[in-house]
Structures are given as C-alpha cells and as structure tokens.
Structure 1
Amino acid sequence: MEKLWEEVRELSLGTSTQVERLDSPPSPLQFLRDFVSPNKPCVISNATLHWPATTAWTSDSYLLQTLASATVSVHLTPTGRADALAPHSSALCFASAHVQRIPFPFALTAISNSNLDAKFVAYAQQQNDCFRSEYSGLAADCETHIPWASEALGCLPEAVNLWIGNHLSETSFHKDHYENLYAVVTGEKHFILLPPTDVHRMYIRNYPAAHYSYSRDTGEFKLELEDPVRYVPWCSVNPFPSPETKDAEMSEFPLYFNGPKPFECTVKAGEILYLPSMWFHHVRQSQDSRGRTIAINYWYDMQFDIKYAYFNFLRSIDDLTVGEVKCVESFSDASACDSGDE
C-alpha cells in the first residue's frame, strides 16, 4: 500500500502537497488532457470575475430582495457538522442535520445568528440541484454551466448547488461520484484532499444512521437513531482532532496520520476548484466581512470506467487485508456491519 501511495504521487500527482493553480481558465483540451484524464485537481484563478454574482451577492439587500418570496432548505446542527460522525450513547453514529424549509429572509437571519455557544448552526446546503430550483431567482447572476468544462466533459451539469454558511460550517471527509467544479463567490473554502488510491487511509466503517431534530420552543437538538436501524459506510478520520482526543485518534488511524500528507488548497472568491470524481475531501470555510461564505458547485456525471472498477478493487483489498471496516460496537444487528457501497 505504501508503494502505491508513493507511485501515485511520483508518477501522476506530484510530490508537493499544494494543489496546482492556473492563472486563468484552461482550454477544454488542456483541462481534459492535464486534469480530467489523470484525475488530478486544480484551482483556477480569475474564473468567475465576470459573474454579476461576485458583486451582487455581497449585498444583503440584493439577496433579500431577489429571494424575498423564495422558500429554501436550511440544515440545522448544534456543531456545524452535518452528515458527519457524532457521539450517541457510548458509540458513534452517522448524524444528518435537521432540515427546515423556511422563507429565505429567515434563513439568512438564522445563518447570521449561528453560534456554537448557543449550540445552533444553520447552513443552506441542500444538494438536490437547489440552485436551479430554490434559488432560481439568482440564475442570471452566474453561468448555467462552466463552458470549458462542459465541452471537455461532453455534457452539461447534472446538478448545480448553492451553499451559504459561515465559518462554523464544516464538511467531514467523503467522496462524490461526480466531476465537481466548485466556485467560491464570497469568503474562502479550505479543502483537504486525498486521491481515491488512498481509500484505505480513510478507515471507512459502517455507522448507524441518526437524525437531529430541533425544537424551536426549547432551542435544543435531539439526536435519534433511525428505526429500523440503517448503517452508513463513512470515513472515520477527523483531520483536526481535539487536543483531548488527538493521541487516541492518531493511534487508531495511523495510516492517515503517519502516511503522506494530504493535498491542501484554499479557494478564494473568484476561483474554481476542479475536484475530480472519487477524491476524498474535507472542507472548512472562512467567512467574508458580513460573516458569510457563499459558493456554487456544478456536478457533472463521472465516467464509470476502469478507474471506478480499480477503486472498487482497492476497496475490496482494504476490506480483506487492512481489516479496518469493523462493526460499530454497542449497537445491535451485527450483520448490518458489512462494508457497503457509498
């Protein structure tokens, strides 16, 4: 496994931990040849400065006026970590956010008022092509697709999603079966990336699914396991363990903490990250002067070709030899702990 990590970096991705940056958008041929084909990420500067969104979305009055009648989905958690591992009783579960559909002006207020002391963090992050549905009023402010990417990939995006949050929102390690063009409009996004060949370093295990429920009356969250029980295969690694748990987590997940350093990049307003399909990514963000980060991403269908088959083969080796896909203790139905597809 260690030899695989080394060769992927030496022969394809490079030995630097910094993601390659381009000063301007590539031609479709360059994008396909240098990044899509080798499954290699890059950050493109000066990619969206021509969008009206880069100036219009910095104005609360514009957003409130344009989306005055829109009802949007807001994800609520006590920590800012939706779709992530959380403690439940004496073990961990896969916790999904409480989702509320509310008028956009109320959503913007909830995001602005997010506070860890109050154990309340709101994040507009509905991943169901929400930009072309819930936020269609903003459609004229940015491109419907990324032209050079669409030509290179031979298709239009399957989904376009909008993300509005503040510095408290965080996305745990996961992967997507899409070619992802991620454009930051305001604020900054901080990505930690690992290639699909490093799947064994993610310690994917099966965790029981749970959901947060939020009471407006008490202002409190309750985390409840699904009934009947359902298991979700999820990455176990937190790249930023607390000082209290750091030693224990480094000991439990040595392949991650002792292996090659992951790739890192910060995507600023006006820039696009090309995040190749199947790459594992963890995301934090920095807010702008108004206390928000806004981004839009374009999901293009990936090709389920030999790379996908190779990834599944690696995953099977991981399950058989590394042996890190384990049953989660303290929960019943051990047969549900078999490794499953994401």
Structure 2
Amino acid sequence: MKEVKKLWEEVRELSLGNNSEVERLNSAPTPLQFLRDHVSQNKPFIIKKPNLHWPAFSLWPQPSYLSNKLSSSLVSVHLTPNGRADSIVNHLGSLCFASAHVERMPFDEAIKLVSNSNLQDSKLVAYLQQQNDCFRSEYSVLGSECDEHIPWATEALGCYPEAVNLWIGNHLSETSFHKDHYENLYVVVSGKKHFLLLPPTDVHRMYIRQYPAANYSYSQDVGEFTVELERPIRFVPWCSVNPYPSPETRESEMAKFPSFFDGPKPFECTVNAGEILYLPSMWFHHVRQSPDDNGFTIAVNYWYDMQFDIKYAYFNFLQSIHYKSPHGPTLLEIECGDSGSVASAPNEGEADKVTEDE
C-alpha cells in the first residue's frame, strides 16, 4: 500500500531527519531531556563524551588482565562456523533459524578461542555474548570496574536495568537484523561497533517470516559444525534481509527484498570506545564490529524494561496490516534455497524472543 510507504518517509521528515545519520550529543542528557527528547520520541542518539570514569576502559583491553581477573570463572562461549549466530541459514535446501552452539568453559580457554577465530584458516568463530544478565552473573568479579546502571537513564525510566550484559568478540562477529523490547544503553569499551538501524514503522521492510528453529552442533573430534532442527518443530519469526549481500548474490537479494533495498536508507552509526548509543525499544538493528589493536571488541549494555504504552499498540497495529511490495512478489512467492522450498509459516505474528544480538 502506498500509505505504508508514505509512513516510512513521514516518520523521517517529522521526527528522525532524512540524512540517515544518528544524532550525536557532546555530553549526557539530563533525565528530563532523555525522556522528553528521545524515549518519548523513540529516537536514538550517541553520546560522544558521556563522562564515564570506568577502570574498565584502561584495564579490559589487556587480555592478560581479564584472564587473570577471571581465572576461576566459567563463562558461556557461543560458537558458529562464520560468526553469525541467530541468523537464517540454508539447511538441506530449506531455510531455518540457527542459534549458536554454546559451551561453558574457563574464561582463559574462551578468550583464546575468540582470539584464534582471527586466524585465516579458522573454521570456528567464538563470541562471548551470553545474555540474560551475564555481567552480573558470569562476570560479577568485574562489577566494580564499570557502573551498575546509567544514573540519568535510571532516573528518567524509574527503574534499574533488568539485565546488564558483556560482549567480547572479534571482527567476524555479526548480528542479523532484529529488535528487542528494551530501552538499550550500549557502551563500547574497546574497538568499534557498526550499527544499521531502522525504526519500528519500517517493519514491513524487514520481511519477517516464520522459520523452523535449529541449533549449530560442534564436534571437537572432527572440528566441524552441523545444523540440527529442534524437535518438536518450533517456529521463530525473524528478518529475512541481509543488508550486506555478496557481489555474487546482490542482484538476487535486491530482487527478493525490494522494499528494503529501494526504501529509505537505514540509519548508520559507528560507536567508538568510550561512547554510548541509546537504542530505543523495538528499533531493528544489525551489528558488525571492528576490533582494537589486540583483536577484540568489548562492550557492556544495559537493558531497561520498555513501557508497553500507546507506541507498542501502534506498532502491533501496523505489524498486523498485510503489506505487499508494489515492486514484485512477496518473499513467500519466491523460491528460497537450492530446492526452491520455503519454510512454512503457521502465522505471521512476532514473538517476544530475547535475542543474541550485539
């Protein structure tokens, strides 16, 4: 519908701007400014000088420091063949949603796996990205080296963060497009994070479809991954678009997802070490990263519960509208995979899934 396409443009003109850049603030906002100018408007920003005095900024980029500090800690490491956990993969000619193989091991072993992922012939990519409050559980010994919350955000939102998470990866770690039902304050400690962002109103450009859930399984004996479908079958709603297709597949990807590639440009931003990104609830985001001189990217994020208010009702209403791109067939009418089959879709609603995202 032309009305939906017009909405994408009007949201940018009225609230977000048309230059595809995220607003950058020189200093942290007051609680009132944060709530009035950004949370209520569902509008992201980056703080260039957030006035954080964390020991983490000088200590954590040193691998030996973390290894010594966490010498007795068991942590969860996520393993994939390519660095893309929680993403759509082709399995036996059909598409499925594959999550990483997760193993618990001493931190020293885990950080070596992350480092070895940088080797040219590596067939295994490790990422320390366990969620559900991993910083206050698996990495609790580091708690005094950064803030337990973001004071101006806590005051504005009227609560402490529900979860605080630590992320340690390398240049191969990549997160596919998804959204979260949290107000997200994302602090980069070392390296850089590269985000592509789209507002909730662009939901129809994401080509969200139901895919059967699967998991990577890794065999240390042969050093190879297999993909195993969950039994009983469970379906996961996920975005079908890869915003960075290879030169060989770019033309076909653009033909499959015209509303994404022909629509307004996603907002792009790089979050440098020492900076904070405010990522509003329900914004779609795709994440890549560049490591520091030691080969790592380290970040901490704070998940605050979103308010399930009128904005959430608007989003659910918009998502319920059937939209067919005027450019051509929908995704379900396009052959996907070598066999030409697609994942069946019992419904089109999106579940509230806590994702492995940054």
Taking structure 2 as the reference length, the TM-score comes to 0.92
Q: Which amino acid aligns with 1:138?
A: L
Matched, 1:220 2:224: yes
Kindly indicate whether the alpha-carbon contact (under 8 Å) linking 1:58 and 1:186 is maintained by their aligned counterparts in 2.
yes
**Cα distance between partner residues in 2 of 1:179 and 1:325:** 30
What letter is aligned with 1:180?
Answer: N
Paired position in structure 1 for 2:98 = 95
Displacement, 1:92?
1.3
Aligned-partner Cα distance in 2 for 1:76–1:116? 17
1:46 pairs with 2:49:
yes
1:339 aligns with 2:348: yes
1:251-271 superposed Cα distances (whole Å, 9 cap, x missing partner): 110000000001010000000
In structure 1, C-alpha distance between the alignment counterparts of 2:51 and 2:92, rounded to whole Å: 46
**1:175-200 deviation line (CA, Å, top 9, x unaligned):** 00000000000000000000000000
1:255, 1:31 → 2: CA distance?
Answer: 32
| Contact kept in structure 1, 2:256 and 2:331, CA below 8 Å | no
1:73 maps to a residue whose letter is S
Does 2:238 align with 1:234? yes
**3-state SS of the aligned residue for 2:64?**
helix
Deviates more, 1:16-25 or 1:116-125: 116-125
Equivalent residues in 2 for 1:122-201 (5 A)? 122-201=126-205
Matched with 2:37 is: 34
Tell me, in whole angstroms, the C-alpha distance in 1 between the residues paired with 2:193 and 2:306. 23
Once the two structures are TM-superposed, the CA of residue 48 in structure 1 deviates from its matched residue by 5.4
Corresponding position of 1:80? 83
CA distance in 2 between counterparts of 1:141 and 1:337 reads 47
Where 2:292 maps in the other structure, the secondary structure is: coil
Q: Which segment is superposed worse, 143-152 or 226-235? A: 226-235
SS at match of 2:228: strand
Q: Quick one: structure 1 residues 116 and 281, their matched pair in 2 at CA, closer, same or farther if it must change by over 3 Å?
A: farther
1:229 CA drift (Å): 1.3
CA contact (8 A) 2:332 2:342 kept: no
CA contact (8 A) 1:188 1:285 kept: yes
Amino acid at match of 1:337: P
Give the conservation status (yes or no) of the 8 Å contact 2:168–2:298: yes
The CA RMSD measured in Å over matched residues stands at 1.7
Whole-angstrom distance in 2 between the partners of 1:231 and 1:197: 24
Question: Number of residues paired by the alignment?
Answer: 340
Q: Is the 8 A contact 1:211 1:225 kept in 2?
A: yes
Q: Is the 8 A contact 1:9 1:15 kept in 2?
A: yes
Q: Is 1:121 matched with 2:157?
A: no
The one-letter code matched in structure 2 to 1:110 is L
The normalised TM-score by structure 1 is 0.96
Counterpart of 1:272 in structure 2: which amino acid?
I
The structure-2 alpha-carbon separation of the partners of 1:301 and 1:154, relative to structure 1 and needing over 3 Å to count, comes to same
Query: Which residue is 1:280 aligned to?
Result: 284
Matched, 1:25 2:34: no
Equivalent position amino acid for 2:314 in 1? Y
Identity %: 69
TM-superposed deviation, 1:81 = 0.1
Residue 110 of structure 2 aligns to a residue in which SS?
Answer: helix
Q: Is the 8 A contact 1:206 1:325 kept in 2?
A: no
Alignment equivalent of 1:55, drawn from 53, 58, 69: 58
Moved more, 42-51 or 152-161: 42-51
CA distance in 1, matches of 2:325, 2:293: 49
AA aligned to 2:175 is: T
Report the counterpart of residue 12 of structure 2 in structure 1: 9
Q: Which runs of 5+ in 2 are unaligned?
A: 352-358
Structure 1: gaps (5+ residues): none
1:318 aligns with 2:327: no
- Runs of at least 4 residues of structure 1 off by over 6 A? 320-323
CA drift at 1:58 = 1.5
**2:331, 2:249 → 1: CA distance?**
21
Show CA shifts across 1:10-41 (max 9, x none).
11111110100001111111111111110000
Task: Supply the distance in 1 between the matched residues of 2:148 and 2:226 (Cα, whole angstroms).
Answer: 39
